[in-house]
């Protein structure tokens, strides 16, 4: 309880870890080291309200300055941890400092996957992961500009929605045959494609990016054998876990630092939480999640383990996305072969798709249907069997589908 703890990475998981450790009775000194100029902040608004300009920068921060004083947590910002020396339990900082720890929590998150095509480094190519990225993008967002968005995942679609609202001419390129192909059902993909087209976004599916061209700055992109004029390119093609610190220290990582159900790595004094981790999910398969829920819940479970009250992590993953006036909420994991049941009418812009695995509810995607999502999430946690016919029938109260 009084050991010296260092947290590497000042993001969502780190903020939760500090809060939970103190709430759970951890009294030792905590040092939080982050390579950004600020303390932990929420990233979701960066592609939503903050980018749109309806949320102030100050509202992004997860904790006040007073929180770090009250929790006796030393914030070391603008500082990058470059190595972990497990033999003498120290971490090396980029500026040469060495700090010792009894316990270490790696909460290093993920970084954007970068383009490798010709022209990828031209001025006018943007990514979106941190406040600086959002500010840079916001600064060039002006009505009438032509933005080419590469990637039809959540980041690409949320930026497309904001850009369309702000009067830019938006063309979105996706190599797969549908949007959100990695995470959503076909029903939800098709619904969002129609919504974006209705808002004036031009969608180019099955269209892989080949090159970005221009004389000293972005002027056009080449995709699917054709050329499209563009002033700005926003790339949203996924993230890579920041797991190299762990691997260089001899800890197991495989597209994410491998942790057990207490967030512990192979070294009992080193834990990890959030986007940088890979864990065994509720259905027994290894997975790496990129969501606020996982960062928060893993941090809570790490705090429990450190304070001697371990509770195996088996939370239902959940996620949300805001585009236009649509709120998409997802709980659970969709797997190929799941039986999809539609409740409600996409044309009414309010519906849910429930995913059953052997009759048991495994996932729900709800669009403007918060009650379906809330109930679905609970049923997934309880591993309840549902009746697909009753579930699909909106004349029957949803509660009567189990």
Asked whether position 270 contacts ligand FAD by CB under 6 A, the answer is: no
Which region among 97-105, 316-324, 354-362, 382-390 touches ligand FAD (by CB under 6 A)? Answer: 316-324
Interactions with ligand FAD, residue window 98-157 (CB under 6 A): 107-109, 128-129, 155
Pick the binder of ligand FAD from 5, 7, 11, 183 (CB under 6 A). 11
Pick the binder of ligand FAD from 137, 292, 391, 401 (CB under 6 A). 292
Asked whether position 275 contacts ligand FAD by CB under 6 A, the answer is: yes
Which region among 119-127, 286-294, 334-342, 391-399 touches ligand FAD (by CB under 6 A)? Answer: 286-294
Closest approach of Cβ 169 to ligand FAD, in Å? 22
**Beta strands 226-229 and 220-223, pairing class:** antiparallel
Q: Are 323 and 333 in contact (CB under 8 A)?
A: no
From residue 196 to residue 235, the character string flagging contacts with ligand FAD as x (rule: CB under 6 A) and all else as - is: ----------------------------------------
User: Burial code of 375-395, b = ≥16 C-beta within 10 A, e = fewer?
Assistant: bbbebbeeeeebebebbeeee
Cα Rg of the chain (Å, integer): 22
Interactions with ligand FAD, residue window 318-357 (CB under 6 A): 319-321
Nearer Cβ to ligand FAD, position 14 or 401?
14
Asked whether position 365 contacts ligand FAD by CB under 6 A, the answer is: no
Asked whether position 393 contacts ligand FAD by CB under 6 A, the answer is: no
Q: Residue 226 to residues 174, 230, 268, 374, 377: CA-CA distances in angstroms? A: 14, 13, 54, 44, 44
Interactions with ligand FAD, residue window 44-103 (CB under 6 A): 44, 46-47, 80-81
Closest approach of Cβ 90 to ligand FAD, in Å? 14
Nearer Cβ to ligand FAD, position 154 or 356?
154
The site for ligand FAD, by CB under 6 A, has a size of 36
Nearer Cβ to ligand FAD, position 203 or 328?
328
Nearer Cβ to ligand FAD, position 86 or 390?
86
Enter the tokens of residue 199. 């808002």
Determine the Cα–Cα distance for residues 159 and 321; give it in Å rounded to an integer: 11
Pick the binder of ligand FAD from 33, 218, 221, 361 (CB under 6 A). 33
Nearer Cβ to ligand FAD, position 214 or 317?
317
Closest approach of Cβ 199 to ligand FAD, in Å? 19
Asked whether position 274 contacts ligand FAD by CB under 6 A, the answer is: yes
Asked whether position 18 contacts ligand FAD by CB under 6 A, the answer is: no
Asked whether position 271 contacts ligand FAD by CB under 6 A, the answer is: no
Pick the binder of ligand FAD from 5, 6, 7, 8 (CB under 6 A). 8
Residues within the interface to ligand FAD (CB under 6 A): 8-14, 33-36, 43-44, 46-47, 80-81, 107-109, 128-129, 155, 242, 245, 274-276, 290-293, 295, 319-321
């Amino acid at each position: 309880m009084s050991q010296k703890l260092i947290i590497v990475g000042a993001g969502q998981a780190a903020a939760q870890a500090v809060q939970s450790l103190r709430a759970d009775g951890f009294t030792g000194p905590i040092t939080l080291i982050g390579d950004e100029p600020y303390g932990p902040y929420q990233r979701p608004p960066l592609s939503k309200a903050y980018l749109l300009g309806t949320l102030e920068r100050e509202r992004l921060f997860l904790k006040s300055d007073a929180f770090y004083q009250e929790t006796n947590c030393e914030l070391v910002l603008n500082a990058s941890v470059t190595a972990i020396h497990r033999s003498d339990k120290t971490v090396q900082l980029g500026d040469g400092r060495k700090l010792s720890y009894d316990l270490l929590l790696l909460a290093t998150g993920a970084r954007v996957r970068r383009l490798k095509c010709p022209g990828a480094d031209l001025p006018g190519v943007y990514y979106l992961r941190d406040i600086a990225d959002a500010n840079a993008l916001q600064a060039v967002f002006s009505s009438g500009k032509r933005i080419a968005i590469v990637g039809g995942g959540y980041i690409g679609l949320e930026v497309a929605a904001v850009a369309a609202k702000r009067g830019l001419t938006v063309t979105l390129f996706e190599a797969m045959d549908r949007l959100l192909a990695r995470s959503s059902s076909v029903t939800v993909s098709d619904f969002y494609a129609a919504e974006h087209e209705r808002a004036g976004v031009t969608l180019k599916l099955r269209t892989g990016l080949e090159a970005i061209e221009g004389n000293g700055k972005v002027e056009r992109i080449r995709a699917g054998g054709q050329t499209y004029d563009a002033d700005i390119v926003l790339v949203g093609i996924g993230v890579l876990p920041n797991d190299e610190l762990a691997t260089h220290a001899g800890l197991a990582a495989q597209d994410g630092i491998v942790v057990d159900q207490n967030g512990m790595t192979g070294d009992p004094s080193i834990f990890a939480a959030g986007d940088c981790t890979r864990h065994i999910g509720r259905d027994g398969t290894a997975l790496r999640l990129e969501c606020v829920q996982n960062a928060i819940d893993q941090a809570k479970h790490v705090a429990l383990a450190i304070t001697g009250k371990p509770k195996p992590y088996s939370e239902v993953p959940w996620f949300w996305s805001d585009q236009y006036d649509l709120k998409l909420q997802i709980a659970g994991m969709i797997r190929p072969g799941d039986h999809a049941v539609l409740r409600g009418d996409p044309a009414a812009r309010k519906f849910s798709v429930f995913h059953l695995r052997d009759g048991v509810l495994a996932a729900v995607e709800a669009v403007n249907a918060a009650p379906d999502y809330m109930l679905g999430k609970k049923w997934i946690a309880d591993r309840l069997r549902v009746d697909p016919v009753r579930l699909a029938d909106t004349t029957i109260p949803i509660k009567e589908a189990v």
